[in-house]
Amino acid sequence: MPDQFSMLVYSFLGLPLAALVLFNLFGKRVMTKFYMPVGMGICLVQMLSAIVSLVLLSQYNKDAITFSQFWNYQLYEGASYFSPDTFSFLSLLCIGLVGLVTFLVAYPVLPDRRFQFCNVTLVLLLGMNGIALVYDLFSLYVFMEVTALSAFVLIALYRDAKGLEGSFKYLMMSAIASAFILTGLALIFLNTGSLQYDVVQAYLANWQNGPNPVLTQIGFIMLMSGFSIKAGVAPFHGWLPDAYQSAPAPVSIILGGIVTKMAGVYAIIRLVGEWLPGSSVVNVAFMFLGLLSIVLGAMSAIGSTDFKRVLAFSSISQIGYIVLGISSGSPLGFVGAVFHFFNHSVFKSTLFVNSAAVEMQTKTTLIDKLGGLHKQMPVTGTSNILAFLSTAGIPPLAGFWSKLLIIIAVWQAHGGVVAGVALFASIFTAVYFLMVQRKVFFGPCREEWKDVQEAKFSIRLASVLLSCITVGVGCVFPWILRFLGAQGWI
Amino acid sequence: MVEPGILIMCILVPLLGSFLLPLLGRISAATRNVAALVFVLFSLVASGLMLPGVINGSPMRFYMDLPLGLSIGFLADGLAVFMAMTASLVAAIIVFYSFGYMEHYDNQNEYYLMVVLFIGAMMGLVYSTNLIFIYMFWEISAICCWRLIGFYRTEQVVLRANKAFLITVGGALLMLVGFIAIYIQTGTFDLLELQGRGLDGWILILILFGILSKSATLPLHSWLPDAGVAPSPVTSLLHAAVLVKIGVYVFARLFLLNFQLEVAWQTTIPIIAAVSALVSAGAAIVENDIKRVIAYSTISQLAFILLGLSCGNMIGAAGGLMYILMHSLAKAGLFLCAGIVEHSTHTKDIREMGGLAQRLPITAVAFALCAFSVAGIPPFGGFFAKYLVIAGAYETGYPWLAGVFIIGAVMTVIYLMRVFVKVFFGELTHPDLKEGSWEMIVAVALLGILSLVIGIFINVPSGLINLIVDSIGRW
């Protein structure tokens, strides 16, 4: 593989950093016009580099690209370095995509806060990119904190009571999670002397014979609880709906689309899916967490009266599917979970983009107040249908295929009852989808919404782009399956 | 193997073409309408072109292997071609009728998109040989059905569309659980590899949930009468001619041609069908809404089809298949006639109508022809189908089952005649009525005449049906 290739990987961290410096060097006056375009540009470049990296990885048949930014990691033992693999690049692609969409929506929605928004969002992107790139648990933790901190600031961007409340809840829960994660890391470090992925993986494969099995166990449980809180898996999900609902519209997109997944689910996929696939105790625990999230999330979504809150609960439910897929412990379940990770980024971002469009045009997201918007907002309404159908796992949309893989894997691992319940729970997704669609977009048009306009061009562009991905990936999925089969991943 | 291009085109032309229709609609309404009709007719012609292959015993086949026991497989065997031709023929007539009926409504682009997409999904479903793809097309049809029932967008209409969607999707999800169970047991979703296997009872029950919900059979039937709020061509297309036939088609595909149905089920399913037939026929007798009467009648007639297909002998199977054809034609005609009546009188309550035959003579005749066929009066097509089904039920060794269905048939005559007499005879209630537009008249007349002609030339469809039934190896 050519050396120049690693330059590509530098861009994931270098570009946001450079842009941050530029923004603040020249100050508000000069740069105001450039914030959003630069942000979009960075995200586009990130998507392109991620795609190129994925192609190169499969071309050269390599598992990962190992490099370090500032020092030669081979000289010092235990030095941290980056080693992104296929899953990392897929995450980076999702981050770029959701970031792009966020900037597209923020452009018309936040005309007055561009300076703050762009700066913090770039830090957020930096943090998430770091999570995807690193190769040791401590750096993972550091980037997780970078991500979380910038998310707190973004949620409270307007410093209003609602935003501060949501942000505070997130901050509190996240702090508890951090304490758990840090303690857990310390306990594992006690036994391994290093937190690099391969060392921890090798240790966890044989932890009973390690020096302190009890401490390892406690450490691992704390680590998993911390990640579960960050991922918003039920029953650790209390903060999530408030944070999503109270955040400004573009911020909810990036939160719901990617942040909680990078900050929590990513680590769960790494730890449980990659390192402990054979552990039946962990798998059963996550199976229950997943099922609980699926059912509880969907039920709560049915009972919600706010568009964004419905979407937040729906996220919990969908993350339940990802966790459930991971809990199967098989390669198929892993692929299904990663694929659902991608799909969920796409369709949940679409839904949040649409909620942003509705919020911008009507100044409310309460579904009982809305009604009959489909006629005025046909693009938003239609893309909403597609995204919801994908969420509910209706073929031929992308969400169906990932769910199918997960369900098959779960059936093989945990039996038909669990798989059947998880699959049939999709009907609850259909229920809240129909409820939202009926109250917001169909039905008679209310007097006060007679003059509502379709959303601004860039918002429409965002939702059309995402809908095309949902439909497109769903339609070419048979070929993706062939590719996966040829690679021997399923 | 013959080059399967025509088979792929037959599915893809309506499936992808439907998305062109909104664009064409921006150019002109007429272009879009004609294009919609052309796409549907294309499927009809393409299916017809595949008939020689079926008769020669070398059906067209397309196959692409995928991991996980999946495959993209299409096979144009007798059953598929028969079903595809029935569906696309009736659909083409209904699309033609829509030209007149839908002229004055908003959202016509969406209407034609959904109708043609629905036909595309139907084509995909009948030709698929893979359970997952059958499920996929099944759900596409559910989405189209949901948008079409909710076409008028008022609160109540949308609620009923949602009801239909939830019941059919709920059933389909249970069916999918059953399909995955089959995969776990056998390692494949491919029907051709599953040929001749037995099936566990619980899997069969899960699949039956899907079939019964789609084919609106008791106890999962309640969405169908409610869905009558849709425009009449939609009701006709979905609830009479095509959508509800998906369930019985999949039943035929799975349990006639692929899986062995255990003997116990050959009694249980007919009993479900018998209950469904009688209860819904009773409901049809007391209803006063013309579309609800016909909708209940559909539920009742579907029970006949299910009986024929499940009673486990050749006569019944042939009868069930023939019933699909006859019922599609005649019931589509009845719904379309009801549409003309509703269009002209602006009411659906038969107590407020009377003597309409004086003002709507062609509609009245067409209604009568279709009603005779549904009621099973010789020499109309419906008679042969009904005769075969009841004869098949008798063959099972349970003569009382045949008796129950004869009662059902008598009730059919009663409620159809009641509607006909109330609406078309008696004192004229709406003196200033006019016939529907010429497209509508031609469509209903065509369906009425076809119901009669196909009965006279019964050897044409029965030849094909014999081929299908012969291909069921086990009898």
3-state SS class at B74:
strand
Closest CA to A260 of A227, A290, A288: A227
Spell out the residues 6+ positions from residue B408 whose beta carbon is closer than 8 angstroms to its own. B274, B277, B278, B281, B300, B303, B304
Q: What is the model's pLDDT at position A459? A: 92
B195 in a structural domain: no
Q: Are B206 and B181 in contact (CB under 8 A)?
A: yes
Q: Which residues of A touch B143 (CB under 8 A)?
A: 389, 394
DSSP state of A136: B
How far is the C-alpha of B256 from the C-alpha of B317, rounded, in Å?
8
A308 in a structural domain: yes
Q: How many CA within 13 A on the CB side of residue B178?
A: 23
Closest CA to B474 of B312, B319, B316: B312
Closest CA to A402 of A488, A280, A490, A466: A490
Q: Are B390 and B462 in contact (CB under 8 A)?
A: no
Look up residue A68 and give its two tokens. Answer: 């370090």
Q: What is the model's pLDDT at position A13? A: 86
Look up residue B208 and give its two tokens. Answer: 């039956």
A379 in a structural domain: yes
B67 in a structural domain: no
Measured in degrees and rounded to the nearest 5, phi and psi for residue A306 equal: -115, 135
Our measurement of the distance from residue A211's CA atom to the centroid of its chain's CA atoms, rounded to an integer in Å, reads 36
Preferred mutation among A434, A480, A487 to probe B, highest tally of B CBs within 10 A: A434
What residue has token string 């990962």?
Answer: A64
Residue B170 touches chain A, beta carbons under 8 Å = yes
Q: What is the model's pLDDT at position B1? A: 45
How far is the C-alpha of A301 from the C-alpha of A310, rounded, in Å?
5
Look up residue B243 and give its two tokens. Answer: 């959508």
DSSP state of A452: P
B185 in a structural domain: no
Q: Are B431 and B327 in contact (CB under 8 A)?
A: no
B208 in a structural domain: no
Closest CA to A388 of A455, A463, A457: A463
Q: What is the model's pLDDT at position B474? A: 62
Q: What is the model's pLDDT at position A466? A: 94
Q: Answer yes or no: do A411 and B180 touch at CB < 8 A.
A: yes
Look up residue B379 and give its two tokens. Answer: 């020499």
Closest CA to B451 of B337, B360, B325: B325
A442 in a structural domain: yes
* Neighbouring-strand partners of residue A64: A85
B428 in a structural domain: yes
- C-alpha distance from B110 to closest chain A C-alpha (Å): 11
Terminal Cα-to-Cα distance of chain A (whole angstroms) = 26
Q: What is the model's pLDDT at position B267? A: 83
Interface subset of B 84-123, CB within 8 angstroms of A: none
Spell out the residues 6+ positions from residue A65 whose beta carbon is closer than 8 angstroms to its own. A1, A5, A6, A9, A53, A57, A83, A84, A85
- E-strand stretches of B310-435: none
Residue A427 touches chain B, beta carbons under 8 Å = yes
How far is the C-alpha of A259 from the C-alpha of A131, rounded, in Å?
11
How far is the C-alpha of A270 from the C-alpha of A266, rounded, in Å?
6
Please report the DSSP string for A75-142 in residue order. TSTT---B--BHHHHHHHHHHHHHHHHHHHHHHHH-SS-HHHHHHHHHHHHHHHHHHHHB-BHHHHHH
Look up residue B368 and give its two tokens. Answer: 């009568």
C-alpha pair distances (Å), A52 with each of A48, A49, A215: 6, 5, 43
Residue B166 touches chain A, beta carbons under 8 Å = yes
> Which chain A residue's Cα is nearest to B156?
A443
Q: Are A340 and A322 in contact (CB under 8 A)?
A: yes
Selecting from B66, B136, B166 the residue whose C-beta is nearest the C-beta of A482 gives B66
* Neighbouring-strand partners of residue B75: B61
How far is the C-alpha of A458 from the C-alpha of A463, rounded, in Å?
9
Look up residue A275 and give its two tokens. Answer: 């390192």
Q: What is the pTM assigned to this prediction? A: 0.93
- DSSP H or E segment with residue A301: helix A280-303
pLDDT, averaged per 10 consecutive residues of chain B (475 residues), comes to 77 91 89 92 92 85 85 88 92 90 85 92 92 92 90 85 91 94 90 84 91 87 85 82 88 87 84 91 90 90 90 88 91 91 86 85 92 89 91 85 90 92 86 81 91 89 86 68
Spell out the residues 6+ positions from residue A197 whose beta carbon is closer than 8 angstroms to its own. A83, A135, A136, A137, A270, A275
pLDDT, tens only, A162-192:
889 999 999 999 999 999 999 999 998 888 8
Cis peptide bond prior to B219, omega within 30° of 0: yes
What residue has token string 């969409």?
Answer: A101
Residue A408 touches chain B, beta carbons under 8 Å = yes
- C-alpha distance from B242 to closest chain A C-alpha (Å): 20
Closest CA to A327 of A414, A394, A227: A414
Closest CA to A435 of A368, A363, A374: A368
Structural domain that includes position A417: 283-490
B139 in a structural domain: no
- What is the rounded radius of gyration, in angstroms, for the C-alpha atoms of chain B? 21
3-state SS class at B235:
helix
3-state SS class at A34:
helix
Look up residue A54 and give its two tokens. Answer: 């994925």
A354 in a structural domain: yes
Q: Which residues of B touch A427 (CB under 8 A)?
A: 166, 169-170, 173
Residue A372 Ramachandran class (φ > 0 left, ψ -120 to 50 alpha, else beta):
left
Q: Which residues of B touch A481 (CB under 8 A)?
A: 66-68, 70
Residue A389 touches chain B, beta carbons under 8 Å = yes
Look up residue A378 and give its two tokens. Answer: 């046909």
Q: Answer yes or no: do B177 and A431 touch at CB < 8 A.
A: no
Q: Answer yes or no: do A478 and B66 touch at CB < 8 A.
A: yes
**Cβ neighbourhood burial of B159 (10 Å; 0-12, 13-18, 19+):** middle
Please report the DSSP string for A30-89 in residue order. HHGGGHHHHHHHHHHHHHHHHHHHHHHHHHTT-SB--B-SSS-TTTSTT---B--BHHHH
* Neighbouring-strand partners of residue B74: B62, B128
How far is the C-alpha of A441 from the C-alpha of B159, rounded, in Å?
13
pLDDT, tens only, A107-125:
888 888 888 888 899 999 9
Spell out the residues 6+ positions from residue B360 whose beta carbon is closer than 8 angstroms to its own. B340, B341, B344, B424, B433, B435, B436
Structural domain that includes position B457: 263-475
Look up residue A479 and give its two tokens. Answer: 């070929």
Residue A95 touches chain B, beta carbons under 8 Å = no
Please report the DSSP string for A368-406 in residue order. TT---TTTT-HHHHHHHHHHHHHHTT-TTSHHHHHHHHH
Domain count of the fold of chain A: 1
Domain count of the fold of chain B: 1
* Neighbouring-strand partners of residue B289: B349
pLDDT, tens only, A363-401:
888 888 888 888 888 899 899 999 999 999 888 899 999
pLDDT, averaged per 10 consecutive residues of chain A (490 residues), comes to 68 88 80 82 92 87 73 69 88 94 90 86 93 90 93 91 91 94 92 86 82 86 92 88 90 92 91 79 90 93 91 94 91 92 94 92 87 85 91 89 93 91 90 88 80 86 94 91 84
Selecting from A407, A434, A482 the residue whose C-beta is nearest the C-beta of B166 gives A434
How far is the C-alpha of A113 from the C-alpha of B39, rounded, in Å?
52
**Cβ neighbourhood burial of A480 (10 Å; 0-12, 13-18, 19+):** middle
Look up residue A16 and give its two tokens. Answer: 């946001």
Q: How many CB atoms lie within 10 A of CB B428?
A: 14
Measured in degrees and rounded to the nearest 5, phi and psi for residue B187 equal: 85, 10
Q: Does the ipTM surpass 0.85?
A: yes
B60 in a structural domain: no
Q: Answer yes or no: do A423 and B180 touch at CB < 8 A.
A: yes
Our measurement of the distance from residue A247's CA atom to the centroid of its chain's CA atoms, rounded to an integer in Å, reads 16
Residue A379 touches chain B, beta carbons under 8 Å = no
Interface subset of A 303-362, CB within 8 angstroms of B: 332
Residue B287 Ramachandran class (φ > 0 left, ψ -120 to 50 alpha, else beta):
beta
Look up residue A235 and give its two tokens. Answer: 């029953």
**Rounded to 5, what percent of chain B is helix, strand, coil?**
75, 5, 20
Spell out the residues 6+ positions from residue A230 whose beta carbon is closer than 8 angstroms to its own. A144, A148, A174, A177, A260, A263, A264, A267
Q: Are A143 and A131 in contact (CB under 8 A)?
A: yes
Q: Answer yes or no: do B162 and A372 touch at CB < 8 A.
A: no
How far is the C-alpha of B117 from the C-alpha of B39, rounded, in Å?
10
How far is the C-alpha of A422 from the C-alpha of A416, rounded, in Å?
10
3-state SS class at B71:
strand
Q: Are B151 and B230 in contact (CB under 8 A)?
A: yes
Q: Which residues of B touch A412 (CB under 8 A)?
A: 184
